[in-house]
Amino acid sequence: MRKATSGFTIVELLIVIVVIAILASISVVAYNGIQQRANNTRSTAAAKQLIGLIKAYTATYGTFPDTSAAVCGTIDNACTNNSNTVNTANNSTLINELRKVGNPPDSSPIAADGAYGIQYIYNASTTFNSQPAPLRIEYYLQGNAQKCGLENITTTTTGGVTANSGYSQTTGNKTTCWVMFYQVNP
C-alpha cells in the first residue's frame, strides 16, 4: 500500500510562478507611471514657482529680473538646454533679484533623456502671438507628449504662437515646455 503524499505538482508551481510574474510586471509598470507623473508634477511646480516670482518681480520693479541671456532658474544652478548641453552660466544675478520678492525654486531634479532643470532665457527680439515677448522659461517633462500645465506655452523658441497641443515639442521620452512672457510695460 502506497502512502499518499501531499504537496504541489510541478504544474501547480509553474502556474503560481507565472501569476506572480504577471502581478510583478503590472506593479512595475504602474509604479513607473506613478513615478513619472510625480516627477512631472514636481518639475511643473518648480517652473510655476519661478514664474510666480518673475511676475511678482516685474509687478514691483517694472522690468525682468535678469536680461543677460540664458541662465538656470533654480538655486542649484543646474540645467541643460533643449540640446542637452549643460548651461554653465552664472545665475547669481537672477537668483539675487528673485530673492527680493520671494524664494526661488531650489532645484528641478527631474531628468528626461538627458535634459533637466529650468532655463531662464532673455532675448529682446523674441515675439509671442505677434507681441514682444523677450523672456522664455524652458523646462522638461518625462514622457512623450505630456501636457505642460501652464499658460503661454509656445511651439518655437523664436516668435512662436500658442501651442494647441499643451506642450512645445516632444522627442524620444522627453517633452519640452517653453513658457513665454510678454514685454513688461513700466
User: What are the pLDDT digits (tens) for 69-88?
Assistant: 899 999 999 999 878 889 99
Residue identified by cell 533623456 is 113
146 in a domain, yes or no? yes
User: Does residue 1 lie in a domain region?
Assistant: no
pLDDT higher than threshold 70 for residue 185: no
The predicted pLDDT at position 5 comes to 66
Residue 142 in any domain: the answer is yes
Q: Rounded mean pLDDT of the chain?
A: 85
Band of residue 49 on the pLDDT scale cut at 50, 70, 90: very high
**Which residues have CB under 8 Å from 30's CB, separation 6+?**
none
118 and 79 Cβ atoms separated by less than 8 Å: yes
Residues in the chain, how many?
186
Stretch among 54-63, 66-75, 167-176 having the lowest mean pLDDT? 167-176
pLDDT tens for each residue of 13-32: 888 888 888 888 877 766 66
Residue 151 lies in a domain: yes
- Residue 45, in any domain of the structure: yes
What's the CA gap between 178 and 93, in Å, rounded?
Answer: 22
Buried/exposed code over 159-171 (b: 16+ C-beta within 10 A; e: otherwise): ebeebeeebbbee
Q: Where are the beta strands (DSSP E) in 59-126?
A: 70-72, 111-112, 115-116, 118-122
Task: Identify whether 5 is part of a domain.
Answer: no
Whether the predicted model's global pTM rises above the 0.85 cut:
no
The answer to whether residue 186 is domain-embedded is no
What residues make up the domain containing 130? 10-181
Residue 176: alpha-carbon gap to chain centroid: 7
Domain count along the chain? 1
Q: What is the pLDDT of residues 107-165, one digit of tens each?
A: 886 777 788 999 999 988 888 878 888 999 999 999 888 888 888 887 776 666 677 78
Amino acid identity, position 178: W
Does residue 3 fall inside a structural domain? no
